[in-house]
Amino acid sequence: MNSVTKRRKEQISLEVSGNNLFGDAQIGEFFRAFVSYGVIAVALVLHAWRKAVEARIKRLEDKVLE
């Protein structure tokens, strides 16, 4: 099975899942996209938070070493 066929089967199963959950495949697709973008947003926030904490720790270490 090539990747295009596999992707198409996944897309069809997602549409069926959305139709089963919400009674409408289009609403199910919207929900899937909403969740996907939500996961990306959470990952970006966690990354930015970690970078801010690392920068603060570095500033404090530099201050202590002075």
Q: Say what the pTM is.
A: 0.62
Residue 19 CA: distances (Å) to CA of 7, 15, 26, 37, 39: 18, 6, 8, 20, 22
- pLDDT score at 45: 98
Q: Average pLDDT per run of 10 along the chain, which is 66 residues long?
A: 62 67 79 88 98 95 84
- pLDDT score at 38: 92
